[in-house]
Amino acid sequence: MAAFLKYLKMAWDNRATVIAIGALILGILFFRTCDSNRRLQQEIEAQKAVFKQNTAALTDSVRAYRDKAGKIEYMISSYTADIATLKNLNRDLYNEVRNINGKVESIIRSKPKVDLPPGVAGSSLFRYTDDTCKYGIKFNYTYADPGLWTNMSGTSNFRYFQKKFFDEGTTIDTNQMTLNLTYAFTRMGDTIKAVGKCPSKYVSISSLEGAYLIENKPAVQKKRKWNVSLSAGYMYVPTINKFQPAIGITAGYSIFNWGK
């Protein structure tokens, strides 16, 4: 009891230092608590934003807008999810992601629709040498603009016998098409949109869907119990019967902890 009273008297004699150390400890605890609350609030807000984004993606439909150059572009709300969540939101996109090599960060899938303009194909008539009653018409059709190129060629056959025509069918030799499509993710207000566009007025996008993949949350790692740390503060020195500043290296074992 006497020893306790002695230490209590020494603490009282150095009360300014003891109060300063106590205030410092309380300040650190308060800061850690505020920081943990702030990070928790940020995580809650982020989860709300993701939920709002995916709800919009589930209910949205493809819409046409004018871009900054006055050209048509097509937009739809995009999914924002990790790969496991995407499996429940959109199984088709999930399967595509699983089949792509490497680590997929985003994906857009669409179904372009092409309505070719009316045109006149070049043609030439010829007679087969091995059958004097059989004829053919070779044709070739090509169309090109900045967003679309297509070419089709072939032969339409018929037979002329006893002043009557008989259809012999059409053979397609070439049927090629090239589309110039551009895809992107853009932010419209608070919503992330998948965008698809083509410079050709004869190409539209009837189906569009996209997903921006976010990382899975990492597994919570167990904190190490043993630790070595550098410490600084005030300590009581019995040999001189007073508190004084001290710096040292400490080794300890954590019994309990708080915060992240």
pLDDT digits (tens, 9 = 90+) for 101-152: 999 999 999 999 999 888 888 999 988 888 778 899 999 999 999 999 999 9
Alpha-carbon gap, residue 152 to 143, rounded angstroms: 9
Q: Which residue has the higher pLDDT, 147 or 231?
A: 147
Residue 18 Rama label (left phi>0; alpha psi -120 to 50; beta): alpha
Q: What is the rounded distance in angstroms from the CA atom of residue 250 to the CA atom of residue 231?
A: 7
3-state secondary structure of 103: coil
Average pLDDT of the segment spanning 42-68: 90
Binned at pLDDT 50, 70 and 90, residue 173 comes out as very high
**CA dist list (Å): 101 to 85, 97, 148, 251:** 20, 8, 29, 47
| 229 beta partners | 250
pLDDT at 118: 85
Which pLDDT does position 47 carry in this prediction? 86
Per-residue pLDDT, 35: 67
State the average pLDDT over residues 222-250.
59
Above 70 in pLDDT, residue 1?
A: no
Would you say residue 53 has pLDDT above 60? yes
